[in-house]
Chain A
């Protein structure tokens, strides 16, 4: 089962709201990722967690705060977002964090900031 589950599928939030995106995988993968994808663009890497530790932060604004409570879960906490942050947020995982490991994507959370 190559399943990465994301909730919610759709989220509308105001610029003063605090919300969270959640991601779960039960494949025993030890690397988890957050990507942001705007319409007609490729996914852009935001964060990489390697063995539950943050190993890559692609200079993401602090209004996005990732959290990895355990090896199966990954959260993205959102606070004081801007309308330009509206996008599809994709969670992904791979068996190990190194190059050559297949990355499996979740269905994504469609975020609209109003």
Chain B
């Protein structure tokens, strides 16, 4: 089955600097890669996603890149702010044998922004 590895597990950056979180996946049939942000005690919320027919996607300070050949995808946050502090999960999914698909999550990165 699919396996998603995420690094680093913790990341501390100075406010205003950039943060990069990296993930690798094992199943070359995976075609959808969402990123979720989970603040302490709250629900995971989608912040950006990318599909396998696209190499890069940007939304204001957040960007995601995908390298299908290497089976890598990364989240880039620029000009970090205190409210960016949270746990970030990458994920991968593909069309399943049934009508439903499964999203497999990475292990998470705890991002802390230092003032």
Contacts and interface: CB of A to CB of B under 8 A. Distances in A.
B95 interface: yes
Nearest to A48: B100
B99 A40 contact: no
B34 A103 contact: yes
Interface size on B, as a range, is: 20 to 34
Contacts of B107: 41-42
Q: Is the interface of A mostly helix, strand, loop or mixed?
A: loop
A98 B76 CA distance: 27
Contacts of B62: none
A50 B99 contact: yes
Interface in B25-74: 31-32, 34, 42-46, 49, 51
A100 B31 contact: yes
Given A40-B108, A41-B108, A98 B43 contact: no
A45 B103 contact: yes
Given A43-B44, A90-B43, A105-B45, A99 B98 contact: no
A44 B107 CA distance: 11
Contacts of B101: 97-101
B96 interface: yes
A42 B108 contact: yes
A41 B110 CA distance: 11
B8 to A, nearest CB: 14
A82 interface: no
B50 to A, nearest CB: 10
B42 to A, nearest CB: 7
Interface string A37-66: 000111111001011000110000000000
A51 B42 contact: no
A107 interface: yes
B12 to A, nearest CB: 17
Given A43-B89, A55-B98, A105-B44, 16 more contacts: A40-B108, A41-B107, A42-B107, A45-B102, A48-B100, A50-B98, A50-B100, A97-B99, A97-B101, A99-B31, A99-B94, A99-B96, A99-B101, A101-B101, A103-B46, A105-B43
